[in-house]
Amino acid sequence: MYVLKGFIINSLFVNNAVGQTSVMGEMTTQSATYAIEKGSYKNDTISPDITMISFTSATDGVLQPVANDLRDRVLAIAKWVYDQVNTGVQLYADQLLQAILLQFQSTAGSFQCGNIVTDGNSHWCPEWVSWVDNTLTQAGTQNQIKLWFSDASFQSEFDDYSFVIVPPITPLDNFFLAGTQVDQQVNARTVSQFFDQMQAARGSNPETIMLVMTYNYIDPNNATHIVPTNWGVLIYGAAGDNVDAIQQALINYILANSAHLQPDWEAILPDLFRRTEFILLPLEDQYAIPDNALNTGLYATITNLTRVNALFKAQVPSYPAAHIDAHLSVMANPYKNLQIAVVGSTDNRNNWYELGQVFPDLLSVLTTSTDFGRMSTDTRNFLIALSQMLITAETMGPYTDIPRGYTRVTRDGALYLVFNYENINYLVAAKQNLTQVIPPPSSS
């Protein structure tokens, strides 16, 4: 399977005003960070104004340049789209798809396009256009091509990503030296040296996101000897800001650069190699008092546990049913009187499968309550983060903005907001996941 994903720059639409980006035909420096390996393609005979930047050009995951004949077919379609944009006539997606298929039916098919955007100056353009190249198909190569014309759409929808990892020590197998030696090597690197290593790793390729992930090394000969280790992660492509993808990238990097097998690493870096997490499912499918024109609704205090159990299993099919039956808990939260179903992963360290094992003093009180201070610092910090997560997850979609410090992940088709606290990931399910119908707002 050959896949080509790229962005079409049109020099006629570039907006050079300070702080401004054209709605179409212009790519921001942020978008340019979405891939390390990019290609720039044009053919002045087709159009001197149009350039294709390829972010993904790969057959079965193996990167390759865009062939000249394919380049020209792609640029011809891009030019045709801009010819329609330049007519000054409002475009409609269905009409555009009919016309583009008629124009290129001998070389392309299965056309689709995104929403139509406008610059407010008599120009209308599809956010993106995708198709199958018939020439490649006839030669026996299944393929999919997608070009973006709108930077805003590209930033939110481009789904490929890659990572560059900066480990705490090298070679990695030094982690299997004596615990005191590991401690010395990890702590020998200063903050300044770590930053220099991150800069060297990025080279001339600015990253989309830079993260530092901290995991505890556990001395296999002394379980009380714990050493925090910092792993630098350079992410190329916003879709890579995903806790599962980051964790898997670190695991893949370690195993690819070590003579030791995964069970060996699980023993010394359990928080990295064993997923310690809790999934929190807000019970937002039942209201006690629905929204109305004057007041925000409040969720139901009383809930049927059989219904909650079935709902959790439907949302989290990757957790064994027997595990959910044994450890499903329901907690209260003061945000809109919300109840939350919670279960920990089967991989959790210390066999922490119920949130009460981590936060036994958790109360359902507002931060302004005098009782809030009666909880431990760890519990208070968790509840403060959870308050933000509940507000965000209630309206969150796959491409909406989320607060800094939080990430987004999709599991089994369900969307979650993720926060890491004390090396435990807390995944709050987005309200859009709920499979049952939410009662409509009251008309009263």
pLDDT of residue 161: 94
* Domain spans of the chain, in order of start: 2-157, 162-273, 277-433
pLDDT of residue 444: 40
Tens-level pLDDT at each residue, the chain (444 residues): 999 999 999 999 998 888 889 999 999 999 999 999 999 999 999 999 999 999 999 999 899 999 999 999 999 999 999 999 999 999 999 999 999 999 999 999 999 999 999 998 899 999 999 999 999 999 999 999 999 999 999 998 998 999 999 999 999 999 999 999 999 999 999 999 999 999 999 999 999 999 999 999 999 999 999 999 999 999 999 989 888 899 999 999 999 999 999 999 999 999 898 888 999 999 998 899 988 878 888 999 999 999 999 999 999 999 999 999 999 999 999 999 999 999 999 989 889 999 999 999 999 999 999 999 999 999 999 999 999 999 999 988 876 778 877 888 888 889 999 998 888 999 999 998 874 434 444 444
Determine the length of the chain. 444
Instruction: State how far the alpha carbon of 316 is from the alpha carbons of 135, 160, 319, 326, 410, in Å.
Output: 42, 25, 6, 15, 11
Distance CA 389, CA 398 (A): 15
Per the DSSP assignment, residues forming a β-bridge with 213 are 231
Beta-strand pair 424-429/277-282: parallel
Give the residue among 346, 288, 300 at the shortest CA–CA distance from 322: 346
pLDDT of residue 398: 77
